[in-house]
Amino acid sequence: MRTDQLDQHAEAEFKTVFIVGGTHGNERTGVMLVRRWQRDPTPVRREMFTTRLLMANPEAIRRNTRFVHQDLNRSFGSPRPGAAAAEPYEIHRAREIRAVMAGARARVFTIDLHTTTSNMGITLITDTAPVNLMLAAQVKQRDPAMHIYAFPPGERIDNCLRASADAGLGLEIGPIPQGLVRHDVLQAAEDSVQIILDVIDAHGRGRLRPPDPRTRIYLHDAHVHYPESRDSADAACVHRDLDGRDYRPLEAGMPVFHCPNGETVHFEGAPGRIPVFINEAAYYPEQIAFSLTRPVTLEQLLPPHRSTS
């Protein structure tokens, strides 16, 4: 057990924690929670840091739609030079949010609240930065039913809202339809945020013991697209035997798509892959039917031990 290595990744404490709702305007759970805490921030206050609340995409929230011009959670990369007059609303918002975070006290952590139409339960979304993995593992230790889904470096994770902070976790809860609030999902999101805040507070006090190096992490591997068709009216759909089976192993030969001609498409990919975000409504425009992950341990994702002697 390389607990010494896990220790060495315990970085300096966070002085500011942003809780962000409405990065996607039709994911109302986070919007409602942030509004509640704006009225009474007592439940999200902790001693070791300042908690700040941020409504990420007010115009999309007003319209109850995912975004206005483009996905805000893919808009935090280096801005492309171009005509300012034609600048998409989300690029403008990304710049404002970056400025707000840059103005905060050193070491900013972000909790970004999302929901999904997929059966993802409670999932912590993270990059592979050791501090985020370590904190996610600590959160999961307090609620073992949670899943941790990690993205290796790449455009998707590098352009998301959390990339503008020093560290952070995304919270995905589902299934819930877009555009509505449900009491049980609201409660699950609130409880999860409380756990994350407690873990960051304990981290700040130096009271966290190294997480279990065998903590399971689902490492993003690939998106699986719907089978090609000449027009979308003709498209296949996710097979009934796959729908809702997020985080259950997908073996070769299992049905994945139902085609309009009645045919079934079977899975032909590598063994040992775990599907997630199955039939997520927000991914229809990109034709993504589900994503595949590879289960690894926390220990496997941490960089090789560097001797300090």
Applying CB under 5 A, the residues found at the interface with Zn ion are 24, 27, 114
**Quick one: 114 or 258, whose CB is closer to Zn ion?**
114
- Least Cα distance to 31 among 109, 96, 113 occurs for 113
Nearest distance from residue 186's CB to Zn ion, in Å?
A: 15
**Quick one: 24 or 52, whose CB is closer to Zn ion?**
24
Separation CA 176–CA 227 (nearest Å) = 25
Nearest distance from residue 27's CB to Zn ion, in Å?
A: 5
On whether the CB atoms of residues 189 and 37 are closer than 8 A, the answer is no
**Quick one: 27 or 90, whose CB is closer to Zn ion?**
27
Nearest residue to Zn ion, by Cβ distance, number only = 114
**Quick one: 66 or 273, whose CB is closer to Zn ion?**
66
Evaluated on CA atoms 102, 194, 290, 253, the torsion sign reads positive
On whether the CB atoms of residues 301 and 128 are closer than 8 A, the answer is yes
Nearest distance from residue 162's CB to Zn ion, in Å?
A: 12
On whether the CB atoms of residues 76 and 94 are closer than 8 A, the answer is yes
Separation CA 11–CA 109 (nearest Å) = 12
**Quick one: 176 or 200, whose CB is closer to Zn ion?**
176
Q: Strand 255-258 relative to strand 237-238: parallel, antiparallel, unpaired?
A: antiparallel
Nearest distance from residue 23's CB to Zn ion, in Å?
A: 6
Separation CA 216–CA 239 (nearest Å) = 27
Nearest distance from residue 127's CB to Zn ion, in Å?
A: 16
Provide the H-helix boundaries in the chain. 3-8, 28-39, 58-63, 89-102, 130-142, 155-158, 183-204, 298-301
Nearest distance from residue 242's CB to Zn ion, in Å?
A: 22
**Quick one: 117 or 293, whose CB is closer to Zn ion?**
117
